[in-house]
């Protein structure tokens, strides 16, 4: 297992100015994994999702979101599966054409679909977020995390109460493994 990207909650909050608002109240002296485990234990899924979205590097965040969405749903519609597939392809080989394909599919997707937001998360991971003919507009460093939050919040709202704790615990344990150095592309 490797070193966690942000050792403490304060380290993460210092790196991402919008994270404190997105994560909510937190003892900023806590170790990142201790904070996450406390949110899992308290069944506070939204703060835990938010924290993981920022904690992981962008590629890891997108990989985690793809796997989580697949865990959280009984099956994706063909168009949603295609968008998640574009994001997964970018995770496997983070090349510019793959990022652009994910971005284009996300831009055409329904804002009510978590798959749209995952495709956008991959598309907003770096580079320009506008078509080449429009010049260059850099992605904000926080956009991937924000898109993943939306995707997983939508999926969370659709989980039935009987499976919510089991599914969310598995998703968040997966994020902890990624934070500790598990490969984003090979899981």
Q: What is the 3-state secondary structure (H, E, C) of the chain?
A: CCCCCCCEHHHHHHHCCCHHHHHCCCCCCCEHHHHHHHHHHCCCHHHHHHHHHHHCCHHHHHHHHHHHHHHHCCCCCHHHHHHHHHHHHHHHCCCHHHHHHHHHHHHHCCCCCHHHHHHHHHHCCCCECCCHHHCCCECCCCHHHHHHHHHHHHHHHHCCHHHHHHHHHHHHHHHHHHHCCCCCCCC
Q: Is the dihedral of CA 111, 115, 121, 127 positive or negative?
A: negative
What does the pLDDT read at residue 186? 47
What does the pLDDT read at residue 182? 80
Residues contacting 72, CB < 8 A, separation 6+: 114, 152, 155, 156, 158, 159, 167, 171
Beta bridge partners of 128: 138
- Report yes or no on 137 lying in a domain: yes
- Report yes or no on 58 lying in a domain: yes
- The pLDDT profile of the chain, 187 residues, written as one tens digit per residue, is 457 999 999 999 999 999 999 999 999 999 999 999 999 999 999 999 999 999 999 999 999 999 999 999 988 999 999 999 999 999 999 999 999 999 999 999 999 999 999 999 999 999 999 988 899 999 999 999 999 999 999 999 999 999 999 999 999 999 999 999 887 664 4
- Report yes or no on 94 lying in a domain: yes
Whole-prediction pTM value?
0.94
What does the pLDDT read at residue 35? 98
What does the pLDDT read at residue 185? 63
Q: Judge contact between 71 and 159, C-beta under 8 A.
A: no
- Report yes or no on 76 lying in a domain: yes
What does the pLDDT read at residue 1? 44
* Residue 20 structural domain: 9-179
Instruction: Return phi, psi of residue 31, to 5°.
Output: -65, 145
How many alpha carbons fall within 13 Å on the CB side of residue 133? 0
Supply 158's token pair: 């659709």
Residues contacting 30, CB < 8 A, separation 6+: 8, 9, 38
- Report yes or no on 1 lying in a domain: no
Q: How many domains does the chain have?
A: 1
């Amino acid at each position: 297992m490797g070193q966690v990207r942000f050792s403490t909650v304060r380290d993460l909050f210092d790196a991402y100015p919008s994270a404190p608002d997105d994560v909510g109240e937190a003892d900023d002296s806590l170790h990142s994994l201790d904070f996450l485990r406390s949110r899992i234990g308290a069944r506070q899924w939204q703060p835990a999702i938010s924290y993981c979205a920022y904690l992981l590097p962008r590629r890891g965040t997108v990989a985690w979101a793809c796997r989580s969405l697949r865990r959280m749903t009984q099956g994706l519609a063909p168009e949603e599966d295609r968008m998640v597939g574009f994001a997964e392809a970018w995770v496997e080989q983070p090349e510019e054409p793959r990022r652009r394909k994910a971005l284009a599919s996300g831009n055409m997707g329904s804002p009510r679909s978590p798959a749209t937001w995952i495709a956008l998360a991959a598309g907003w991971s770096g580079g320009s977020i506008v078509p080449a003919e429009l010049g260059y507009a850099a992605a904000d460093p926080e956009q991937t995390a924000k898109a993943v939050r939306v995707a997983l919040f939508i999926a969370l709202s659709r989980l039935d109460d009987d499976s919510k704790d089991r599914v969310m615990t598995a998703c968040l344990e997966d994020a902890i493994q990624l934070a500790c150095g598990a490969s984003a592309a090979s899981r």
